[in-house]
Every structure is written in C-alpha cells, then in structure tokens.
Structure 1
Amino acid sequence: MVSKIKDFEFQTQCVDYLIDKTIETDSKQVITVKAPTGAGKTVILIKYVDQFLKNTGNNTAFIWLCPGKGNLEEQSKERMEELAPHLDTRNLMYSMMAGFEAGSITFINWELVTKKGNTALKDSERSNLFEKIAEAHKDGVEFVIIIDEEHLNNTKKADDVINAFAAKNIIRVSATANKVPHQEFYEISEDDVIGAGLITRAIYVNEGVDEKKEIQNDYEYLLDLADEKRKEIAANYENIKVNVRPLVLIQFPMGQPETIKAVEDKLASMGYTYDNGMVNIWMSDEKIVSEDLINIDGSPAFLLMKQAISTGWDCPRAKILVKLREGGSEDFQIQTIGRIRRMPEGKHYGLNILDYCYIYTLDTQYKMGLLSSLDKAYQVRRLFLKDEAKSFTLKKEMRDLDFDGLGERETLEKVYEYFKEKYKLGSDKRVNQENLEAGGYSFSHEIDNKILQGIFRTSEDLANGGSDNKIKIKTTVNTHTHGIYLLHAVDEIKKVTGMQSQKVKNILRRMFSKGKKRKYKFIELENSDFYAFIINNVKQLKMDFKSVTSQMGGVQLSFKLEPKISDFSIPEMELYKYSEVKQCQLMRMNAYREYTNEFITDKTRSKPERLFERYCERNNNVEWIYKNGDTGQQYLSVVYTDAFLKQWLFYPDYIVHLKDGTDWIIETKGGEVSGHSKNIDMQIGNKFNAFKLYAEKYNLHWGFVRDIDEELFINNTEYVEDMSDYRWKPLSSEL
C-alpha cells in the first residue's frame, strides 16, 4: 500500500481511470494523461502501478521511461521505494541481467537507449536488451510502458525500443498533451490542482511595468522589478511567521556569455554575487549551486538558468521568473512556468502576494510548447511498394553548390528597384519616409513592443491572453546591447532569401543608413535609428525581400543552370501519416500496398491533394500513383532559382504511371474559392518554369493542378494566377 502521502480526490480519480483502461481489452494502446505541473504525476503513477499489480494478473512488467540528462529515473525509482517499498524496482542494467520479470518495474533513462557516447548502450548491450525483451515475451510477460515525457524523444532508436516491448498499453503523462482520436485521453484540470492548494492561485505577468516609462535597459529594468517583488514577498512570509525565502529564476534561452555577464554585473551592483552565496548558476557548461538551494529557506536569492534546467528539478520556493530575450522576437514557452507554480508548503496562505507567482518578460508571444508526434492528429504506418512500381526510375536534380546566385551589387539593384516601384520612392528622403510609413513601415526612434500584462488563473488563460491584456512599451536603442537583436532580424531575412547575413546587412545599410555611398539611398538614418528601423520592421522587411525573390525576370530565364543529376527510384518502404476514418477503403491505384483512405484525410493531405488522389483512383487509365516526399535525398527533386538566382529544391507532389506507359509529374497548389486565390506559395511562378524545363528535358507529361468547387484544373503552358484564364483546363481533358 502506498503510504506517507496525502490523498487528493483528483489523483484517486486519475488512478481509477488508468486501472480501468489498462484492464479493458479494447482500450486504445496509448493512454495520455494531461496533468498540470504540481499535480503529483509521479505519485499518481506509483499509486497506479501498486494498485494494478495488487488487483490484476501478475504477468505484467512495467517499463518507466524518464527524460533528460539528469537522474530523473533514479529520483522516480527512489520515490517509488519510499512510498511503496514492497514493489520490485530495478534499473535497466539489473533487468538486462535478470530479465524483465512479471511484477517488476524497470526505470530507464531515455539517453541510455537513444544517445551515442559514453552513457549509451553499446551495440552488444542493445542486442542483449532486445533478446531479454524477446525472452520475456516467450515467458508470457505483458508490458505496460510509462513515458514521463516532459522532453520529447521522438527518435528512431526510441521508437525501435518502444516497438520492441510491444506493450499492451503506453501511458504518457504530460503537461502539454492534446486530445486526439487514436488515444485514450484523461485531463486533470488545473482548477483541481489549484483547489488542492498545490499550485499558485494565479500567474501575475509584468506587474509594475509602466507603459509611460521608456526602458533604458531591458535586463536592468526587469531585474529591478523582480528584486523589489522578491523583497515584498519575503516580508510577507516573515509577517505570518513562515520560514520561506523566495527565489528568483533568471532564464536565458540561449545562455550567451555577454548576456550572462551583463546580468551578473547588474546583480553585483545590487549586492548579489556568487561569492556571498546570493547568486547560483545552473548551465550545461557551468554550475555553481549551494547545498541548500532547493530548501524552502535556502540562502540563494537568484538562480541563473537556461531554457530548462535538469528535468525533475523541483524548488517550491521559486516564486518569480525573469525571462530575458537574447534576440528580437522570442516566444515564451508556457511549460517553464511550472518551475514557479508550486506552493512551498502545499497550501495557500490567503494572501494574494504569497498565493500568486510572478513573471517578468518582454516577450510578445506565449506558446504552449511543441507537440509530441504522439499528440498530433495523425499516426504513422510503414508501407511497402508494389512489385509493378519497383523498376520505375527518373532523373532527379540537386543543387550545383559551385554557384551561389547573383553578386551583392546585382542583388542590391533588384531589391532597390522593387522598393522604388512598390513604395514610389525617389530622391526626396522626406517623401520616401512618408511613403514607407504609408506602406506600413515604422520610423520610431525606440524599439517598440506590445507585451502582456495582467493576472491569469491558469496556463491556458495565459496562452489565450488577448489584446485587452497588451500594453505598449518603448526601449531606448543601445547599439551594444541590441546588436544581437539586429543580428536576429537580419537572420530572419536571410532565412527567406538564402543570402548570407552580411550581404543582407550591407544591402539594408546601403538603402536606409547614413553613409558615404549615396547611390541606392532611400533614407539616411543615424545608426541607432537604423537599428530601431530594422528590428521594428523585420516582419515587413521579410515579406518584401521574399516578394523580390519570387519575381520572374529576363535575367533568370536567360541564365543556364546546370544542376547535379542522379537517379531516383521510388523507396521500397515508406512511412506515411494517417488518421482514423469511419469507413476504411483500400486505394487500389496507389504504388504502395495497403494504402487506404486513412492516408488522405484533412489531417494528412491538402484539399487539392485529396481531390487529386481520388480522381486518380477513379481513372481507369492509371496503373499506379505515388505521393512524393516533401524533403530529403530519397525523393524526387527539381532545382529552381529565385530572382537572386539562388538555387532551391522543389519536390513535385505526385508521379502518375498510366497503363499505356506514359508518365505524369504533378504538383498540386491551392485553387480558388469565391474568386479568391488559395495559393500561398510566392515562388509558384519560378517553380512552374523550372518544372516545365525539367519535363521537356526528360520527355515527361506534367502540370500544376488546382481546384475550384471540387473540380480540378491543370496548367502546363504558362503560369497565370487567375484560374478563369484559358490556360487552366479541366484535368479530365489531359489526364
């Protein structure tokens, strides 16, 4: 019997649910429990294992998989030994010697089975692991896998290990899971955990941030606010005679040395240092941690940490989180709030200041975190190629890495001409600024931000924090501390153009910054104003640069690209995403065996793709159809160039082989609805032209296919966006 722990009704109900689902013969394999931080997921799982082994057949062995580089599997094992000492707990090495026996619980760190290096299993040990699993199966042992999935481990090696156990059930407990059709799903509400007094009653974001005040330094401003709040909380603990010392967590997403140094200097100026024990640091490459850090009366007042410190780390006195930005526009990952939501004594005090937790950040977006592949609305199935498609080959193209596009001057000329034409720019700098402002550009002297401020009861409330909770703030430009913001903005433009960062920066300076070179100059901004202009307008600049690259010009069409050529054949085995359907039907024309309508749902295919596959299924001329991959060396690729002559790979959607031996290559794109285009691919024209040349070179039939009112139309002559144009013909007239 599990002892030494207070029972909460929401935990008991969750345990009962898990027992019911793992006893049922027709339950779905994956059982996901969404449990907010502080719900006591380890205790819930220990109680569940104990009750299951007591009240059901004894031929089940449990595998408890733990994430992270820390020793969470040891912590979980020790917790089970403390609460249920009668259970047979083991580590992986013990079970690999003794075997996976019925009634045992084996705790495994993911890193042992997924990572290369000193801590990973050697090949011989890996073989031994699979042998021991096979022996247990022969002995009639059934497995239940528990995945403590705070960090995701969606690797092939992890999948191989999970698949080898062939578990009757896989139980996941996660704070960020989603309900999907192919899993059993149970949610512990945050309100229940708040009601039990285990976590704070609310989250207060950016208390005291004054939108009327111009911020001179992000770090200093936020740290001053956080320390003021820490002192206020400490005084309130003292007033009610509670011996808790509040801790401030300072989170660095990337942990850049210059940012850490700036924060250390600021803390030292406030009287907090490593030497006097008031500051601790926990980074992958540096760790200065006091012995009493996690005690509720521990001495450190500040802990410097990266995005997530060692998994399983628990410090209930942590009350304040300062999340610093090391780039221009980072997201706040909501799961990190779990570090400051636990109540230090597992109860509320009846004072808001002690029953709330506090966040200080200038981030503008709040995200619930990445989804696991198990959370998405589809699953993956392995399919095998039919014999008739195995001999099919084509030539595929790859980039010529010896050619790197236009030079900087030619690129600058294209960007300059685009801005000049779009915004009607000329030689008058004042008029140019007015026209750019009219086009949506900001010329603020400060860095502008809209940030969240307010009190939020749950994490979900925080994620949905609307515009009513936003305030405007302005930060004075500092070309030293905001240099990294500028680099991030430039990198955002680099991503959509493929240009080198320095080239992007040089072009922006030639057009918008003061300098000796007068040609190509639209605006002459001082250096600090130039920083503000780029950082504030990064989204608009990205869109404009992307639009430049999508242009088709005479230079591109006259340019003779010689891509690298290699052979393509359809992979004999493929993993395709699928989702459940009411009535499963075999798609007979697909190149893979056992390909069904489960693979062409709205969760896995776009509408034109779904329409096209169904069209081919009804077409008596088709022998087989193959859905190409989106990226990867094993798939059919065609090289196209953008307006900067930068090379990109394009992966046509479908290969269709007809019974008369004719081959078609098809790309599907968003069509039209109510006269409005659904196509979102700005490079569609450049891809169309490259595709046309490729098809002519290899004597293939081809076309771009789009939809209107459930009907498909094809174009393989000259690209036009307007589908009322005569060049868009009914697909049935061609294929």
Structure 2
Amino acid sequence: MMKYELKDFQEKAVTKLTQLMVQADEMYRKYHDKISISLSAVTGSGKTVMAAAAIEALLNGSEEFNVEPHQNVVVLWVTDSPALNDQTFNKFQISSEMSVLMMHNIENTTTEEIRELQPGNIYFLNRQKLADSSLLTRGGEIPTFWQILQNTYDRGTTVYMMLDEAHRGLGQNSSHDEKRRQTIYRKLIDGFTDTAEHFTLDPMPIVVGISATIRRFEEAMQGRQKRTVLPEVSVSPADVQSSGLLKDTIVISVPSATDAMQGIYLTNACRTLQESTDQWKLWCQVNQLPIVNPLMVIQVKDKVKSTELRELCAEISEKIPWIDQHKSFANVFGEQTDYSIGGFDIPYIQPELVQDRKEITVLFAKEAISTGWDCPRAEVIYSLRSHNDDTYIAQLIGRMVRTPLARRVDVDTLNSVTCFLPYFDQTTVQKVVDHLTKDSTDGSAVSV
C-alpha cells in the first residue's frame, strides 16, 4: 500500500505494469526468455511513484493489484547521474510503504560487503559507478559488480533492471559521454564476455524502460534478436493534465522567419516572471497558503563566458528591480563552479535542492534542465541553445509543465507555463506541444 493515494490514471498504469512484470517473470522462469517492458508517461505524471507502486506490489504482494509476493526477485534501479539516483531513492522512501531495509544505494564498497544481490530488495545504481575506472569494476581480490550480478543470476533470482530516463544512452548520439553511457547500458542489458578474465555475464533477464519519451528505448529493444518486447504501458497526457498535475496552457515563443531581432525574448521572459510572481503572491495570500516563488530558468551554451553571465544578470536586474544580486542567482552547471562577477553571485547548487531554495529566482543551466530534474515552481524558461531533436525538446518542455501545488488553481494564468525558445526549431516544438496536449478539448491549450 502506497503512502500516497494514486490518481485514477496512475492506478490503471500500475495495474497494467504489475501484470506485465508478473508475466515477464513467468516467461523468464519457464522459457528463459529475456523480456523488455516500457512505461511511457509525460514528465510530471509521477512515473517514479507508479513504478514504485508496481515494485511494492511485486515484492510484498497486493490485494489491490491482485498480486502474490514474489520471493525470489531483485530490482536494480539504474539512473544516469548520482543526483538523480539520490532523488529517486528519497522518492521511494517517501512514497512507498516498503521497509527502508529493503532499499540500498550501491556504493563503491558494496562488492566488499556482499557476493550477490539479495532477493526481495531494491538496489539503486547510477551508471557512472560502472565506468572502467570504477572500484566496482576494477576486480582483483574483491569481486566486481559484474561478478555479483552473475552470482545473482546463477542463484536463480529474477533481476528486474528499471532503467530511468530510458531515452538516454540507447540512441545514436555520437558524443564521448553518450558512447560511454551506451557501453555501460549495453553490458547490463546484453551481457558480455571478458576472455582475459575468463568471465561471462549473462543478459539481464527483464529490462523495464521508464521515460516521457520512450521511442529510443523501444527501438533499441526491438533491435535485439533475443529479447521479447511486451506491450507498452502508456499514460495519456490528457489524463495527466485533467488530474491537475500538469499546467493547462503552454505558451511557446519561437521566432518566425520575419523576426528582426531576438533580444526582446529576455525582456518578455522577465516581464512574464514578474507577472507570475505578483499573481502567485496575491493568490496564495487570499487562500492563506505558503507563497509560491516562481523560478526563471536560463539555458546557456556549454562554453558560456563569465562576461556573458554578468551581462545577463545585469539585464535581468535592470528589468526586475527587486532581484537580489547576491541571493537570487544560482547555477547547475556540470563544472559545479561558484561565480562572483561584476557584483553578482551565481553559486552552484545541486539540482534537487533548487525547489526548496525559495530565494533563488533565476537559475542558469546548460543541459541539466532536460533530464531528471524536479522543480514545479519553474514557470519561465529562456533558452540560448539551439535544438531540433524532438526527444530533447519534449524532455525540456516536460520539465516546465508541472503545477507548483500539484493541482489546478482558479486563476487561468497561474495554470500556464511560458517557454522562450528563440533558437529552437519551430516545427519540432509544435510537434512536441501537440503531443503534450493531445486529446485536449481546449483549443487554446497551446499558444505559439
């Protein structure tokens, strides 16, 4: 039994996902089939909560979902970053009734402590820990994680690999980091043979991909000859929107071919943030609720210069006079660097902490905003990056459509999000927005 009451669309998805996970276990045990399953739901729908509910039903049994406890099962939850790994671990503890003794973070010392993954438990692993230079893969007197995993298979335990943000690491991206990610995921999913060490890792019994943009994962699984693909568990964006978890209106500002200049976009973004701040303050005071402090995300290029950051801060401060030069700015850059430039402080902050740091009004990001980041008070985004990939754009916009209070409010403008994307491909953006608002009966759900 989950601590949170599932919404109707979540309950339906959990029922189907649980049934497929049970079916996959039966197919693996009886016929040694390797299985893949996918859970597709828009960002903000509660994918982690739904997956946690299915896992809890599988491990503990559930009358609600008509499932008996599965005693000889292990769940390996794999994420793409340490921050997302910690965030997911915390969500499981908060949302489920499973004992904390069943949940384990895989650390660099884990292989010193165990020889196999224990049935009835959930292990959280970020893929960086399986890099070739990692202590978990180095070997020697201490077993590698790969050996621990094979020991678990040899014991007859069914391992479910839950691949969070499954659109990453399984596509055709040629970047160095993407290739490393693909190599690690390929080893986990397909197994491998190390002739030098006389070691073979069997393929993962069951892989469950979880993403708002599941196409890449499904194509990757369908391309594998010895893996059976079960039907997708898909949640309609309209069902999520009608529940109040997602905002009703997505206002997109993308330049047309006749735009003479794009400098007006930051001005408009600042004006939108100011209006949103004023409206939320008034609404919360009238309804006697804690004030919602909207956040503006500014997405910059990878090699952004300090002078460019200073100019952006100065322009924002000019347009929003109440901005605090020392407290209102922060960054989530991968370099994890604190900036102090021209009288403006832009300290690094871990992405998962932004939501609760109410004094932060403007957040500078590079790519981090597009994956695994929860901040429902983010109401405005201004991007200086260029993109035409529909998966990336869907992830980015999806991060911006969560409602701050997880419900609809009685002021239409507070049920909207505004995205200023002057360098994004307009056709692709429209395609993504159509998906996020499909089946909507309100023709004004999108403004471009």
Q: Displacement of 1:351 after TM fit?
A: 2.3
Instruction: With a CA cutoff of 8 Å and minimum separation of 6, indicate the structure with the bigger relative contact order.
Output: 2
Instruction: Name which of 58, 75, 79 aligns with 2:91.
Output: 79
Matches within 5 A, 1:103-252: 103-113=120-130, 115-117=131-133, 121-124=137-140, 127-149=143-165, 152-154=168-170, 155-162=182-189, 163=191, 164=201, 166-178=203-215, 183-184=229-230, 185-206=232-253, 214-215=260-261, 218=262, 220-240=263-283, 241=285, 242=289, 243-252=291-300
Distance in 1, Cα, partners of 2:397 & 2:83: 22
Distance 1:296 1:356, change over 3 A: farther
Distance 1:279 1:71, change over 3 A: closer
| Native 8 Å contact 1:333 1:367 kept in 2 | no
Matches within 5 A, 1:624-703: none
Distance in 2, Cα, partners of 1:160 & 1:200: 39
Distance 1:117 1:41, change over 3 A: same
CA deviations on 1:625-683 (whole Å, 9 max, x unpaired) are: xxxxxxxxxxxxxxxxxxxxxxxxxxxxxxxxxxxxxxxxxxxxxxxxxxxxxxxxxxx
- AA at the equivalent of 1:109: N
Structure 1 residues not aligned, in runs of 5+: 369-451, 462-468, 472-735
Matches within 5 A, 1:353-372: 353-365=413-425
3-state SS of paired residue (1:197)? coil
Q: Displacement of 1:246 after TM fit?
A: 1.0
Distance in 2, Cα, partners of 1:177 & 1:347: 26
| Native 8 Å contact 2:333 2:348 kept in 1 | no
| Native 8 Å contact 1:35 1:188 kept in 2 | yes
Distance 1:282 1:137, change over 3 A: closer
Distance 1:144 1:191, change over 3 A: same
Q: Displacement of 1:119 after TM fit?
A: 7.2
Distance in 1, Cα, partners of 2:357 & 2:412: 20
Instruction: Name which of 57, 67, 78 aligns with 2:80.
Output: 67
Q: Displacement of 1:297 after TM fit?
A: 7.7
* Higher mean C-alpha deviation, range 340-349 or range 131-140: 131-140
CA deviations on 1:181-237 (whole Å, 9 max, x unpaired) are: 662212111111111111111211129x8998743xx3x411110111111112221
- AA at the equivalent of 1:266: E
Distance in 2, Cα, partners of 1:119 & 1:252: 34
Alignment correspondent of 1:266: 315
Distance 1:78 1:133, change over 3 A: same
Distance 1:212 1:18, change over 3 A: closer
| Native 8 Å contact 2:252 2:447 kept in 1 | no
Structure 2 residues not aligned, in runs of 5+: 28-32, 61-67, 171-181, 192-200, 223-227, 339-346, 439-445
Alignment correspondent of 2:64: none
Distance in 2, Cα, partners of 1:318 & 1:268: 18
Instruction: Name which of 372, 375, 390 aligns with 1:312.
Output: 372
| Native 8 Å contact 1:244 1:317 kept in 2 | yes
Distance in 1, Cα, partners of 2:273 & 2:279: 10
CA deviations on 1:558-593 (whole Å, 9 max, x unpaired) are: xxxxxxxxxxxxxxxxxxxxxxxxxxxxxxxxxxxx
Q: Displacement of 1:91 after TM fit?
A: 2.1
Distance in 2, Cα, partners of 1:361 & 1:302: 16
Distance 1:71 1:213, change over 3 A: closer
Alignment correspondent of 2:17: 18
| Native 8 Å contact 2:44 2:399 kept in 1 | no
Alignment correspondent of 2:331: 281
| Native 8 Å contact 2:73 2:119 kept in 1 | yes
CA deviations on 1:520-570 (whole Å, 9 max, x unpaired) are: xxxxxxxxxxxxxxxxxxxxxxxxxxxxxxxxxxxxxxxxxxxxxxxxxxx
Alignment correspondent of 2:304: 256
Distance 1:245 1:150, change over 3 A: farther
Identity among equivalent positions (%) equals 19
3-state SS of paired residue (1:10)? helix
3-state SS of paired residue (2:148)? helix
Distance in 2, Cα, partners of 1:51 & 1:366: 43
Distance 1:28 1:157, change over 3 A: closer
- AA at the equivalent of 2:373: W
Q: Displacement of 1:169 after TM fit?
A: 1.6
| Native 8 Å contact 1:255 1:306 kept in 2 | no
Distance in 1, Cα, partners of 2:245 & 2:147: 43
> Larger Cα Rg: Structure 1 or Structure 2?
1
| Native 8 Å contact 2:161 2:207 kept in 1 | yes
Distance 1:95 1:211, change over 3 A: closer
- AA at the equivalent of 1:80: F
- AA at the equivalent of 2:158: E
Distance in 2, Cα, partners of 1:297 & 1:280: 10
Alignment correspondent of 1:339: 399
Alignment correspondent of 1:475: none
Instruction: Name which of 43, 51, 57 aligns with 2:49.
Output: 43
Distance in 1, Cα, partners of 2:141 & 2:92: 26
- AA at the equivalent of 2:17: L
Output the TM-score relative to the length of structure 1.
Answer: 0.46
| Native 8 Å contact 1:203 1:458 kept in 2 | no
Distance in 1, Cα, partners of 2:97 & 2:110: 19
3-state SS of paired residue (1:341)? coil
Q: Displacement of 1:172 after TM fit?
A: 0.6
| Native 8 Å contact 2:394 2:432 kept in 1 | no
3-state SS of paired residue (1:350)? coil
| Native 8 Å contact 2:137 2:146 kept in 1 | no
Alignment correspondent of 1:541: none
Q: Displacement of 1:66 after TM fit?
A: 0.8
Alignment correspondent of 2:442: none
Q: Displacement of 1:28 after TM fit?
A: 6.9
| Native 8 Å contact 2:34 2:205 kept in 1 | no
Distance 1:173 1:228, change over 3 A: same
| Native 8 Å contact 1:204 1:454 kept in 2 | no
CA deviations on 1:105-135 (whole Å, 9 max, x unpaired) are: 111111111x345676424489532322232
Output the TM-score relative to the length of structure 2.
Answer: 0.73
Distance in 1, Cα, partners of 2:256 & 2:70: 63
Distance in 2, Cα, partners of 1:37 & 1:268: 31
Distance 1:120 1:167, change over 3 A: closer
Of Structure 1 and Structure 2, which has the larger fraction of its residues in strand? 1
- AA at the equivalent of 1:65: V
Alignment correspondent of 1:34: 40
| Native 8 Å contact 1:250 1:302 kept in 2 | yes
Distance in 1, Cα, partners of 2:141 & 2:270: 51
Distance in 2, Cα, partners of 1:196 & 1:340: 17
| Native 8 Å contact 1:204 1:455 kept in 2 | no
Q: Displacement of 1:138 after TM fit?
A: 2.9
Distance in 2, Cα, partners of 1:321 & 1:357: 9
Distance 1:152 1:456, change over 3 A: closer
Distance 1:71 1:7, change over 3 A: same
Q: Displacement of 1:333 after TM fit?
A: 2.2
| Native 8 Å contact 1:248 1:301 kept in 2 | yes
Distance 1:117 1:140, change over 3 A: closer
Distance 1:61 1:213, change over 3 A: closer
Distance 1:297 1:160, change over 3 A: closer
3-state SS of paired residue (1:228)? helix
3-state SS of paired residue (1:75)? helix
Distance 1:460 1:43, change over 3 A: same
Distance in 1, Cα, partners of 2:208 & 2:269: 39
| Native 8 Å contact 1:200 1:343 kept in 2 | yes
| Native 8 Å contact 2:251 2:416 kept in 1 | yes
3-state SS of paired residue (1:348)? coil
